Chains A and B, each alone.
Chain A
């Protein structure tokens, strides 16, 4: 399907829903192409490649709401699908807050070039894909005789989407991404088989880092886990590596949606304008970053992307508000979902931060655990290392951190200068005081 066919199908579906009795509708037609290659033991372990297609439809029928999707795009089946969906929707209870966004929140003018679509996606050589995965695997295997297994993968995808609202908005979105990843498992004389992974991605094929750097990083991380064990329970300084920060940050962001506030499931209810973290935390949601993994001109409802600071010097500035829960709360929508997150940086990288710790625990990965957005309570499994006198002296695993997000974020005492580049959440490394670890 080309762009014209996609947008025509989206428009046909939105209009057909009205003909079937809907008062409003929006339709999104997506097509995608994905490739994934895994290399292990010097040969291709898995090669997968396919194209995808989908139509999703939001229906508003006499004040009633439903959301539908199908990948069966044969016209006759689609007609029946839409007819039946509208009929089913009309049987639900009415909900006066359900309607398409007010057109004043749609994007205006020409779309910016967010540089998230590689025009050369279609020209990537299949053999080059295999070489990238093989290069990462070989580089990992070369790092140590202790390696039992290394698997490296290359993947890419291209998604193209056309959106049409019966209220007049239509928009296109095209994006590509490319990833190289590696995972490494080691023989450990102390017992167990420590493992770790590394991954790097880009919006443009030509900007992928070298596969060797990914393989070497995966092996380095796994080797750092040799001899890992749990240590004494107690309160420690906690350094969280940039790529792991997302887990503790999501305890905050989960509670920052209009939905959780409206449903009384947020410990941040009533906290706008009040401190929710130490003054070091300034966090901006920026959907317009060129090449960002979370960049977008409009969100999943068609709401215009707007850059805004969500936490300023520790003070909560606003929630993530979608159209429906915004109407329930009497608030203007600003998008119910996170795009890219950018942080006011500190002065040192993780290495510098480690050097400044007398005694503490470096957390470079989380395992399991959960949090309670209603109360802010959390408990997570961790892995990492014991820091003594400015250096990591012992690999640590099989321990938990437990606490409440209100206290944890007030105890944020340093932010790194090292935003994680391979996610829309560009989290730097962070230091927290007085975190309760349980182990022995």
Chain B
């Protein structure tokens, strides 16, 4: 438990907070305790109720308590997560981390107002106490808890072949050993290799006062490799990672080899790299992780809570043209096995493909329950929370730009002098001003239509709506990024994905010397 860190992250992310942040790689949950891993529960709703040692009658009683002060809606979010992590350093898998999270969050809404509490002891008494705490946000006559609860099915976007529950640590360790051996084998200048491997399994049960009960089992896994190399007394460090909602099958021989070779390639290129001269210039974004542009430039600004409060720079632009007609931007919860995908959101609503921008026109915000009701629209399945300890917020899932009409070579040829940005570590946005940034770990200069000298370690800063309007070419080589992106908002982190084809922005400020 890290109380100080929780508090600081609230101060930094919550209050600078208008700002969203995005970082990679992510090892937020980690673990190796498997007290529960082998305790196979019965399938279906009965299995979930047994896991949390609750009954429908008990849930209805807690709801009655939650609505006793006049709240007009409540929900219960039961969660049981088992996380494991192992690490390799100095050529040995010599550390393991484990975490178990178990509890229920109780939310009461009165219009736009939220009352929230949670308990980590799932007993009738503790749940009722938490319900009364959350109920206090409202003042009025008691509302009615549902007479019956109905189990609602949902699609499955994260089929797992080899599940994590019950898997012995000895089966995972050789993956790290092999990647490590490959990294050292690829180049004699490699002096250090560090690897972190995570797997996590969550079971959630969501019950709402509208009588819905939804269950979901979610997995997350990933491996991140960082590599340090030394040449002529100079050192450089970089890395690569692959993440997804998959089972052990994600780490087959092909991926092990690719992860190792990407980590080494991305490190070695930095020895040749320099810092560009800074200022406004044309920027071409490589396909894949450059989707960070969408996340920061428009994604956060289209989360409906910021618009409901009038503090987003996109607050009055729905239905208006914001980009060239060949530009569309989608927040998609249904991409198979992607890190940001969800079978259902954390309010129990189906996820979907939500067009934020369609053919250049600003189309839809991303909603949670509060904002969907505020705007009188159906929910978009974007209500997410870090855990049962937090109330849901509108959050992104997989934010992508579909293919456009241009050819990659044509895009690069069109640039006289500019930057080709290839790999990224993090980004941030100020929602109201629209200023957003992302940090380019590596890329190239473009001179007279050709990729020339490598560059490294520069920040790019732009203004969301202006940069959207300045997207002048969109390639036809879309790539979904596989990195371990984690988005931070109001102190809560959420796994997300990004994707983009090759894209050209006509003017943006690049850091440099």
Contacts and interface: CB of A to CB of B under 8 A. Distances in A.
| A and B: bona fide binding partners | yes
Interface of A: 28, 30, 32, 34, 36, 40, 43-54, 56, 64-73, 77-78, 80-81, 84-85, 88-89, 91-95, 98, 126, 148-149, 151, 153, 155, 157, 159, 161, 175, 177, 179, 181, 183, 185-186, 192-195, 197, 199, 225, 228, 230, 233, 263-265, 294, 365, 367-372, 374-375, 377-381, 383, 397-403, 436-440
A66 B98 contact: yes
Contact of A400 (B99, B278, B433): B278
B437 A369 contact: yes
Contacts of A148: 310-311
B355 interface: no
B18 A368 contact: no
B509 interface: yes
Interface of B: 1, 3-4, 6-7, 10-11, 14-19, 21, 31-37, 86, 89, 92-103, 112-121, 130, 133-134, 136-137, 168-170, 173, 191-192, 194, 228, 230, 235-237, 275, 278-280, 296, 309-313, 315, 389, 391, 425-439, 441, 456-463, 509-513
Contacts of B36: 77
A181 B15 contact: yes
B1 A28 contact: yes
A398 B34 CA distance: 48
A401 B511 contact: yes
Contact of B459 (A49, A81, A370): A370
Contact of B512 (A44, A199, A438): A438
Nearest to B39: A80
Given A225-B433, A264-B228, A402-B459, A70 B35 contact: yes
Given A185-B432, A374-B236, A400 B310 contact: no
A368 B436 contact: yes
Contacts of A88: 32-34, 96, 98, 168-169
B228 A265 contact: yes
B428 A81 contact: no
Nearest to B103: A71
Contact of A71 (B95, B101, B228, B432): B101
A67 B33 contact: no
Contacts of A32: 1, 3
B102 A71 contact: yes
Given A47-B113, A397-B435, 7 more contacts: A68-B97, A91-B169, A175-B3, A197-B16, A377-B456, A402-B459, A403-B513
Contacts of A228: 433
Given A30-B3, A84-B34, A92-B93, A192 B434 contact: yes
A322 to B, nearest CB: 13
Given A68-B33, A71-B101, A195-B433, A185 B96 contact: no
A365 B120 CA distance: 38
A149 B459 contact: no
B95 A65 contact: yes
Nearest to A155: B10
Given A88-B169, A159-B3, A379-B457, A70 B509 contact: no
Contact of A49 (B1, B117, B192, B458): B117
B509 A399 contact: yes
A66 B97 contact: yes
- Of B103, B119, B170, B279, which is in contact with the most chain A CB atoms at under 10 Å from its CB? B279
18 contacts: A28-B1, A46-B113, A68-B98, A70-B100, A80-B35, A81-B33, A95-B94, A98-B94, A148-B310, A179-B7, A193-B313, A264-B191, A369-B439, A369-B511, A378-B457, A400-B460, A400-B509, A439-B280
A222 B288 CA distance: 36
A440 B235 CA distance: 32
Contact of A183 (B15, B94, B428): B15
A88 B19 CA distance: 40
B310 A233 contact: no
A247 to B, nearest CB: 10
Contacts of B86: 92
Contacts of B32: 66, 68, 85, 88-89
Contacts of A68: 31-33, 97-99
Contacts of B228: 263-265, 374
B178 to A, nearest CB: 14
A93 B457 contact: no
B364 to A, nearest CB: 21
Given A44-B113, A46-B116, A230-B509, A368 B33 contact: no
A81 B35 contact: yes
The 8 A-B pairs with the shortest beta carbon distances in the complex, nearest first, are A438-B278, A368-B437, A193-B432, A400-B511, A54-B1, A368-B428, A81-B35, A93-B92
B180 to A, nearest CB: 11
B300 to A, nearest CB: 12
B509 A438 contact: yes
Nearest to A403: B513
Contacts of A155: 7, 10
Contacts of A399: 461, 509
A294 B389 CA distance: 25
Contact of B92 (A73, A84, A95, A381): A95
Contacts of B230: 264
Contacts of A94: 94
Nearest to B424: A370
A50 B118 contact: yes
Contacts of B136: 47, 126
A54 B456 CA distance: 42
A179 to B, nearest CB: 7
A183 B17 contact: yes
A64 B121 CA distance: 32
